[in-house]
Structure 1
Amino acid sequence: MTGAVAVADTSAPAPLSRARTNIVFGTIVLGMLMAALDQTIVSTALPTIVADLGGAGHLAWVVTSYLLAEAVATALAGKLGDLFGRKLVFQLSALIFIVGSIVAGLANGMLLLIIARAVQGLGAGGLMVTAMALIADIIPLRERGKYQGALGAVFGVTTVIGPTLGGLFTDHASWRWCFYVNVPVAIVMIALAARTIPRVRAAIKPIIDYAGIGLVALGVSSLILGLEWGGTEYPWGSGQIIGLFVAAVLLLAAFVAVELRATEPMLPMGLFRSRVFTVCSILSFIVGFAMLGSITYLPAYLQYVNGVSATASGVRTLPLVAGLLFTSILSGQIVGKTGRYRYFPIVGTAVMAVGLYLMSTMGRTTSIWLESLYMLILGLGIGLAMQVLTIVVQNTVPYTQLGTATSGVTFFRTLGSAFGTAIFGTLYTNQIATDLTAALTEVKVVPPAVAANPQQLRALPADVAAPIIDAYARSIDHVFLWVVPVALVGFVVAWFLKEIPLRDSVRAGASDVGEGFSVPDSPDRLVLLERAVSGAMRKAHAEGPIGPRILADSGSKLSPGRAWALGQVYMHTRVRGVATLEAIAHAHKMPPEVIRPIYVQVIAAGYVTADDGRVRLTDSGRAEVDRIHASWRHWLDTQLDDWDYRDPADRALLDQALENIATKLLDEEAQEREPVDA
């Protein structure tokens, strides 16, 4: 984003009560839970889906189509929310997700399932981005960090436990329930959103880079189709595959040309002049490549080679999940305390390479404990590499590019996930076609349909099944072995990551579990800046409440009670255009008589006037409010003075953003002060 800082509409509702805030947050969590879960829930169901629908060569697209559509939707949803209101976009995204889920559950062929998954992905991307933006709309600034951290943790945890839940549905109901289960949850979520989420719309209309979004979507899709179909649907040297690669190059070149000229580009090309951004984007791509590719194909290995059920295959991947969670949290805590981050991606990519190599040695005779150890090693490496990437970028890019840089790193991770799944699928399909044909030729008595069904394969005599099982093991081992060089490329690239001291606000957010999973984020710079301020405030609150210190530093002669009274008048006048004693009391669920004495005091002191039931700030009252406001502004400057904005235009945007934040803080301070004179 390079335009003006968006501000909330002045008709925005008053701050929500704690109970309603929690209900709204629960509604938002439901949306994030569904969208994140459906990235991986089908992985354990894929062998059964192939057995039912056929089309094993298109298996990877069940995941890839979802990820590509999600990436496009995340690029659009934030600005559509600014244009039409985030509540509406959130509800429409849920409706799109419901339609995709129903069609996926009813699909009678692989093509229809892939299309339905793409529709699901569009809804999921909208849910994720608007969920993060809604947190910024409804949660007080000083509490926002813990809510955003919780939402990010939901995203991360559901992403990695999806395979286990998918296995449960596949074994005890049907793989179709991996999709049907979304429908009642989404309906409840839409109903709750309609009743609880307030309508908030940005006052400034965004400029949407439709051409850039369309070109990158078509270019990446052409490239993945070429990789997916090469050697399976068509020979690598065929006109179709070469045509797809040429189309991909032309479309992506056109994307770069459009981005160089766009008013508000989806991905500013100038970002790549930053070595930190470039390195983090490459590493984010590689982490996504290894994580989702392995999570997608591990259950297939476990079902075909180890002969476990779909549920057990999900449970057996938990060592990978445990390792990933452990090192994500550990590295975040260390970065938060020390501010040092450079060696985490270096060590992480090296451990990833070791884990992938070890997994390429697994076979029919490998013990469960050794397999679990290899998965744990891979998970440890992914967790070490992924945690720091977003926060490093936020620490180094120019302010005007903060939102697009954050979204860019997440976008590359999603693309990496899509490419990883597709390339894992291509390697697997090409290898299994040869190995399985040879195995079936050897045993002769087993029809291909039985060999493709893990349940029926387990029922065969051990000596008959052994060549087929070995074929699956060799094919999946082949996939993991070929991904080792990708991790090694990441290891080399990670050495180019510069160590730049992290500012306090970034270090405060480094320990949030959600940061490590690169949850699709709001592209709004103000939202991201507010998150940094929230982290700084959490650190400041460790030394005691910040509000009284701000009041003391302002030089105001007001007591906390009188400051509360003036702040209420200021806030109600700003939000509603008029302030009354009854409205202020109602906002705090108390009779007007309780707060009347403090207003008698401020009226007598000349800070407020009362006329026809309305209360207004006098010039001296406004001066006191401005003094406190300026004190908040000064404190924010001290927290963010290590942000390097040498361009006067950038500094002006930062000043406007800080004014918005200081106003919100004053509003919240006015809401929370007790109506008594100190």
Structure 2
Amino acid sequence: MTDSRQTRTGLMLSCALLALFLAALEQTILGPAMADIVAELGGGPLLPWVATAYLMAATAAAPILGALADIHGRRRVLLSSVGLFIAGSVLGALADTLPVLVAARAVQGAGAGGLFALPFVVITDLVPPQRRAIFAAGISTIYAVASILGPLAGGGLVDALHWSAVFWINLPIGAVVVTGVLIAGPMGGKRHDRRVDLPGAALIVATSFAAVLALDRAAAGDVRDILQALGLAVVAALCFAGFGRRMMRAPDPLVPLSVLTDRTILLVALVLFCCQGANVGLALYLPLYWRTEYGMTATESGLAVLGLLIGVIVGPYLSPRLLLRNPRYRPVMVAGAALATAGAAGLTLAIALGASILVVEFASATLGFGIGILYPVVLLAVQNAARPETAGAAMGILAFMRAIGATLGVSAVGIAAIATGIDGGTGAGWPTWTLFVPGLVMMALCLGACLALPDRALSGYAVKKDAPAAPPAGE
């Protein structure tokens, strides 16, 4: 590879990762601004939609934009996604009513769907297989750092300037991404001549909206909301069934059948779904547990959850070392899932037995470390299984499952929080340890999915002499 080509490749990869960081940061940076938004724009039933609209749009857009990247090229769709994100940011900063702000967040989320999915595709195109593990570990770190930095940056911007600053800050970062992508020029990711499946896109959007709404209603906790959630869940299931039927019959399906029927891709997507649900759900509600049960301040409770987050940050850097010794990824995933399941079980048991803070921290760190081991291998396994012409669709499915998993995790743990009464309500008499059962169930399901994976080796990795041989990649 020439120096010029290396420079352009490095620039494109840097821009793709910066775009991912921008979208991940936007999930948490708005939190500290909510009180000021309520004071200026008012609250009411629309207020939760400031967060929900972003998540819903990103969830729906990720598989669509991933598929479009296979058709129209990675660079064009990445630039379009950044453009949508910036447009939503400007609209949000200028919003003078809550409905306008919600609409802005939906536009932002639509762009974020591409920013979540496309960096993984760019890495698949430009990075040799044996180096992808390091990039995958870096992506896990980006998510973890964004989850920590978001509230800090949001609070600082609001205190120093105005709540709209959490939107304006996206413009210079987005401009850097756009400029870098334009300078890097076209590279990698051949276009594939097929039409956009609009009915398929409409069905996946309807599925996403109904699913996110169902989870949002379920988290409210009362009987009426639970009934609404069940109805929306039925709608989501019917729409998803229609989507599957459409993919089987469409001449140019939005997500090719080779992706939807690939055992490795489906099981690995389930693994990511479970990891994200346990990670985000517990990271959000662990501070509430610390404050309620131990009387910690907001700062202390935030520091207390670092055990989980540090595990998630450190774990991804072990996976590449293990895979360089033996490129068979199933044993690594089983080990990570088993460790995370043990951590979730230990956390639940420690709370039930009233163990010390150190024991609870150790268990949560073990859970985070196991999840961290899994995160980069998920990306590598799907990159390994998907064909180049379907890489965008496969990564879009991963981004979709990541978003749905996070939403389900937050909703499930939120329901338990309401039932235990640690949210400040009367509760339903559930013991406090049940707050951690959703995470345990998700990690047990994750372990089952890892055990069911075919025993394949990552292509492009040299097998060490002392490592047993594995079947070639592919289904």
2:209 to 221, 229, 241: 221
Q: Which amino acid aligns with 1:428?
A: A
Aligned twin of 2:271: 283
Determine if contact 1:164/1:312 at 8 Å carries over to the other structure.
Answer: no
Q: Structure 1 residue 160: deviation in Å? A: 0.6
Q: Does 1:167 align with 2:151?
A: yes
Determine if contact 1:303/1:313 at 8 Å carries over to the other structure.
Answer: yes
Determine if contact 1:228/1:426 at 8 Å carries over to the other structure.
Answer: no
Aligned twin of 2:59: 71
Determine if contact 2:192/2:389 at 8 Å carries over to the other structure.
Answer: no
Per mean C-alpha deviation after superposition, the further-off stretch among 150-159 and 229-238 is 229-238
CA distance in 1, matches of 2:382, 2:123: 22
CA distance in 2, matches of 1:171, 1:306: 25
Q: Does 1:119 align with 2:107?
A: yes
Aligned twin of 1:483: 439
Determine if contact 2:16/2:119 at 8 Å carries over to the other structure.
Answer: yes
CA distance in 2, matches of 1:245, 1:132: 29
TM-score (norm 2): 0.77
Q: Structure 1 residue 219: deviation in Å? A: 1.7
CA distance in 2, matches of 1:486, 1:325: 20
Larger radius of gyration: 1
CA distance in 2, matches of 1:339, 1:84: 33
Which runs of structure 2 are paired with 1:578-617 in the superposition (5 Å)? none
CA distance in 2, matches of 1:108, 1:496: 52
CA distance in 2, matches of 1:378, 1:47: 30
Aligned twin of 1:495: 451
CA distance in 2, matches of 1:399, 1:197: 21
CA distance in 1, matches of 2:240, 2:218: 20
CA distance in 2, matches of 1:278, 1:50: 40
Q: Structure 1 residue 427: deviation in Å? A: 3.8
CA distance in 2, matches of 1:238, 1:355: 30
Q: Structure 1 residue 310: deviation in Å? A: 5.8
CA distance in 1, matches of 2:107, 2:135: 23
CA distance in 1, matches of 2:295, 2:43: 20
Deviations 1:395-428 (A, max 9, x none): 5567876664454345323321232233333443
Q: Structure 1 residue 267: deviation in Å? A: 3.6
Secondary structure of the structure 1 residue equivalent to 2:318: helix
Secondary structure of the structure 2 residue equivalent to 1:245: helix
Aligned twin of 1:156: 140
Aligned twin of 2:306: 318
Aligned twin of 1:330: 318
Which runs of structure 2 are paired with 1:212-251 in the superposition (5 Å)? 212-230=200-218, 232=220, 235-236=223-224, 240-251=228-239
Query: Residues 103 and 474 (structure 1 numbering): CA distance in 2 closer, same or farther, change over 3 Å?
Result: farther
CA distance in 2, matches of 1:279, 1:302: 34
Q: Structure 1 residue 378: deviation in Å? A: 1.6
Deviations 1:133-181 (A, max 9, x none): 56678x6x77x975x6665444321211223213323544428354443
1:197 to 151, 167, 184: 184
Determine if contact 2:219/2:411 at 8 Å carries over to the other structure.
Answer: no
Query: Residues 373 and 405 (structure 1 numbering): CA distance in 2 closer, same or farther, change over 3 Å?
Result: same
Which runs of structure 2 are paired with 1:283-432 in the superposition (5 Å)? 283-302=271-290, 313-360=301-348, 362=351, 369-395=358-384, 404-405=393-394, 407-429=396-418, 432=421
Secondary structure of the structure 1 residue equivalent to 2:245: helix
Determine if contact 1:220/1:248 at 8 Å carries over to the other structure.
Answer: yes
CA distance in 1, matches of 2:121, 2:401: 20
Deviations 1:487-518 (A, max 9, x none): 22333343323323x1541x36xxxxxxxxxx
TM-score (norm 1): 0.56
Query: Residues 106 and 482 (structure 1 numbering): CA distance in 2 closer, same or farther, change over 3 Å?
Result: farther
Which runs of structure 2 are paired with 1:427-506 in the superposition (5 Å)? 427-429=416-418, 432=421, 436-438=424-426, 478-500=434-456, 502-505=457-460
Q: Structure 1 residue 96: deviation in Å? A: 2.0
Query: Residues 215 and 71 (structure 1 numbering): CA distance in 2 closer, same or farther, change over 3 Å?
Result: same
Deviations 1:14-57 (A, max 9, x none): 984655655555444432321233344456x4986898675699
Determine if contact 1:222/1:248 at 8 Å carries over to the other structure.
Answer: yes
1:94 to 82, 89, 94: 82
Determine if contact 1:97/1:123 at 8 Å carries over to the other structure.
Answer: yes
Determine if contact 1:57/1:429 at 8 Å carries over to the other structure.
Answer: no
Determine if contact 1:223/1:244 at 8 Å carries over to the other structure.
Answer: yes
Q: Structure 1 residue 642: deviation in Å? A: 4.4
Q: Which amino acid aligns with 2:436?
A: F
Query: Residues 63 and 371 (structure 1 numbering): CA distance in 2 closer, same or farther, change over 3 Å?
Result: farther
CA distance in 2, matches of 1:99, 1:358: 46
Q: Does 1:265 align with 2:259?
A: no
CA distance in 1, matches of 2:100, 2:310: 35
Query: Residues 87 and 484 (structure 1 numbering): CA distance in 2 closer, same or farther, change over 3 Å?
Result: closer
CA distance in 1, matches of 2:212, 2:103: 16
Secondary structure of the structure 1 residue equivalent to 2:158: coil
Determine if contact 1:234/1:240 at 8 Å carries over to the other structure.
Answer: no
Deviations 1:420-457 (A, max 9, x none): 23333344356549x6344xxxxxxxxxxxxxxxxxxx
Determine if contact 1:32/1:154 at 8 Å carries over to the other structure.
Answer: no
CA distance in 2, matches of 1:306, 1:111: 39
Which runs of structure 2 are paired with 1:556-575 in the superposition (5 Å)? none
Determine if contact 1:345/1:386 at 8 Å carries over to the other structure.
Answer: no
Gaps of 5+ in 2: 465-470
CA distance in 2, matches of 1:212, 1:367: 52
Q: Structure 1 residue 288: deviation in Å? A: 1.8
CA distance in 2, matches of 1:153, 1:132: 12
Secondary structure of the structure 1 residue equivalent to 2:223: coil
Give the number of equivalent residue pairs. Answer: 459
Q: Structure 1 residue 274: deviation in Å? A: 4.8
Determine if contact 1:230/1:236 at 8 Å carries over to the other structure.
Answer: no
CA distance in 2, matches of 1:483, 1:494: 16
Q: Which amino acid aligns with 1:157?
A: T
Q: Structure 1 residue 476: deviation in Å? A: 7.4
Deviations 1:67-107 (A, max 9, x none): 44223333233454566665443333223222333455566
Q: Structure 1 residue 294: deviation in Å? A: 2.2
CA distance in 2, matches of 1:272, 1:204: 18
Determine if contact 1:41/1:164 at 8 Å carries over to the other structure.
Answer: no
Q: Which amino acid aligns with 1:197?
A: A
CA distance in 1, matches of 2:104, 2:295: 30
Query: Residues 54 and 127 (structure 1 numbering): CA distance in 2 closer, same or farther, change over 3 Å?
Result: same
Q: Structure 1 residue 286: deviation in Å? A: 1.0
Q: Which amino acid aligns with 1:495?
A: L
